[in-house]
Structure formats: structure tokens, C-alpha cells
Amino acid sequence: MTDDQRSAGAPTLEDVARAAGVSRATVSRVVNGVRNVDPAIQEAVRQAVSVTGYTPNRAARSLVTRRADAIALVVSGAGIGPEAARGDSGTGASGEEGGGSGGSGSFTAQVFADPFFGRVVTGVVDYLRPRGMHPVLMFAETSRAREEVVAYLRQGSADGALVVSTHAEDPLPALIADAGLAAVLFARPARPVPVSYVDLAHQDGARLAAEHLLGRGCRRIATISGPLDVPAGEARLTGFRDTMARHGHPYIPIAEGQFTQESGESAMERLLAEHPDLDGVFAANDLMALGACHVLREHGRSIPGDVAVVGFDDSSAALACRPPLTTVRQPVEGMAAEMTRLLLDRLARPDGPVTSVIFEPELVVRGSA
């Protein structure tokens, strides 16, 4: 864009049309997301938009498309009991990647402190940004907050919702489905609801961890599970125990954690007290594995010489661990991007079928095992 163009004011649809060599109506169709435009023309218009610096008038665009061009990214589920129904702090149950209890303050602090949620946000933002859309972060940790989310979506303030539930009994997915609103979930819901979701093959990931520890020669293996009222926690424990049983290890000491570093430390203390000769540990996420490694070092155990440790997720905690953590990779950013793609596809085809996409885990070998 030239200096003369800048001085003349903000670029218009006519400027884009002139740069692309197409009509103003064609530019409008591309900008407003009309699907039946030739791909080559779409690309020419996008390049012209980039060159001219044109920014669509969102208010005018929403009148045409009846879309907000915003997606609600909802973290839900901390308070489920009677206290939550009254809008109080709630009982607080552990989440897919974050534990803890309490009200809105502790819940939001928990979310922002957990690397899992940051990775979800990264995947969503990276997918939406090139499409001129934005996520609106919302927290639904009480009954009142869940009602506000549903009302926000009903009013058209956001076109749909990406929901990350942190409790198996979270009622929000069913509330959204009953309201006929567009949504996609991160992780399979504990109770069936007609909502699309993305998830990981958690049992297969735990199998990789078990086989790796056995392959290293570990024979006195224990596990720090996630919270067993969360589908991911239960699935990872089931996969691990099943694989160990198939290799002749019918009994595996278990200490339940809450997907937090502190709970990993407490669980490791319990396991060492009851099974001081253990030589391998599988922790159901990296934060708990990080806590376990800290306790093992405090007790004078070398890693992996005395005790081999495998985590799950391949989050930033895996690299912060000393030694760096062998872990099962969960491609959270890619899963979040796919969740977003499914939602946009749902918005484009409201009558399309509910679906699921399951990602495959991968073992990442580092220094801890």
C-alpha cells in the first residue's frame, strides 16, 4: 500500500477489488466466507487484502453473515455439588490436567498455572487467527456461570463453544446440547451427549509407558494415577495395568494423584514408604512426574539409575524436569486446532453429523527412563 493510499484513509473493498482484479461483490463474498468461490480467486483476494491492509468492518459483516466471528473457549466443571448450584465456591474436583478446589479465584489460578491449558489456547488461537476470528475465554466453574455461558451463546455473542471440562460430572456439555448450540469438546465426555469431541487414545499411551519401563528391565513398578473420576485418569490407569498384566505383573502399586505437581510429590512419598524397593514409576501426567522426581532425589534415589520415571503429555514440565522426562506425547496443540476445525465445520454445516477424532500417542524418550 502506498503513502498516498494511506493518507486517503482506511483501505476499502474497492481497493481490494482493484488490487485483485475482481469485482467488489466477489471480494465481499470471499471476505464473508461464502464457500462457492473459486479457490484461485479466493487466494487472489486474500493476497490483495494482505497487500492493501484491508480490515473488514465486523459490525457490517455480522449483519450480512449473522455471525459474531468469535468463538467461546470455555473451561468448565470445577464446582458441581450443591455449593456450586448456589454460586458459591464449589467442592472442587480435579481436572484433566489441573487439580485443586475452591472458587473462581483458585479455579482461574489453577487454569493459568497449568501448561495444558496454555497449549489448548495456543492451538485454538493459531487456528482462528488466519481466519479473522478470535476466542473469548470463559470460565464456568459454578451453576450460575454455566447458565451465563449458555445465555451468551444463545444471544449470538459467540458463534459456538469449545469446551474443556475439568470434571467428569460437568453438566455444561449436556446443557449446550439441549439448547441446540454449536460446540465441540476436548476429551470424551464421561456421559454420552450428542456433541463432537477430540481425544487421545489414552490406554494406548499408557501401554507405551508400561512397555518402555519393562523393556528397560524394571520389575518393581508403581504408578501415580490421575483422578479416577476423570475419564483420562481412569483410561491411563486401565491401559497401564492391562499391559503390565499381559506381561506377567498382575499387581501394580497405585497412588492416586490430582494431575498437579504437589499431588505427585505426595503420591511418591506414599509409594516409597510402602514400596521402598520400587525401580520404575509411571505418572499419568508430567506435572505429577515432576513432583515424583523431586521426591525421589530428596530420598537419595538416582534417576534413572535407581528408579526410572515416565510421564504423560510431553508438556513444558517434561523439559523442566531433571533429568528431562521420558513421556508419552499428547499433541495438545494439534488436538485443539482440530477441535476448532470441527466447530467451524459445524457452523458451516449445522445439520452435519456429530463426530469424534481420536489422536495417537507417541513415546518421547529422554533421560528419566
| Amino acid, single-letter form, for residue 357 | V
The pTM for the full model equals 0.75
Q: 462457492: which residue's cell?
A: 36
What are 205-216's pLDDT values in tens digits?
A: 999 999 999 999
pLDDT number for residue 78: 56
Distances (CA, A) of 40 to 33, 36, 37, 89, 346: 15, 12, 8, 54, 25
Q: List the grid coordinates of 337.
A: 486446532
Q: What is the pLDDT along the chain (369 residues), one digit of tens a residue?
A: 444 444 456 788 888 899 999 988 888 778 766 667 788 888 888 888 888 887 765 545 544 445 557 899 999 875 544 333 333 322 233 333 433 333 445 666 666 677 888 899 999 999 998 888 889 999 998 889 999 999 999 988 899 999 998 777 889 999 999 999 999 999 998 888 999 999 999 999 999 999 999 999 999 999 999 998 888 999 999 999 999 999 999 999 999 999 999 999 999 999 999 999 999 999 999 999 999 999 999 999 999 999 999 999 999 999 999 999 999 999 999 999 999 999 999 998 888 899 999 999 999 999 999
Q: What is the 3-state secondary structure of the chain?
A: CCHHHHHCCCCCHHHHHHHHCCCHHHHHHHHCCCCCCCHHHHHHHHHHHHHHCCCCCHHHHHHHHCCCCEEEEEEECCCCCHHHHCCCCCCCCCCCCCCCCCCHHHHHHHHHHCHHHHHHHHHHHHHHHHHCCEEEEEEECCHHHHHHHHHHHHCCCCCCEEEEECCCCCCHHHHHHHCCCCEEEECCCCCCCCCEEEEECHHHHHHHHHHHHHHCCCCCEEEEECCCCCHHHHHHHHHHHHHHHHCCCCCCCEEECCCCHHHHHHHHHHHHHHCCCCCEEEECCHHHHHHHHHHHHHCCCCCCCCCEEEEEECCHHHHHCCCCCEEEECCHHHHHHHHHHHHHHHHHCCCCCCCEEEECCEEECCCCC
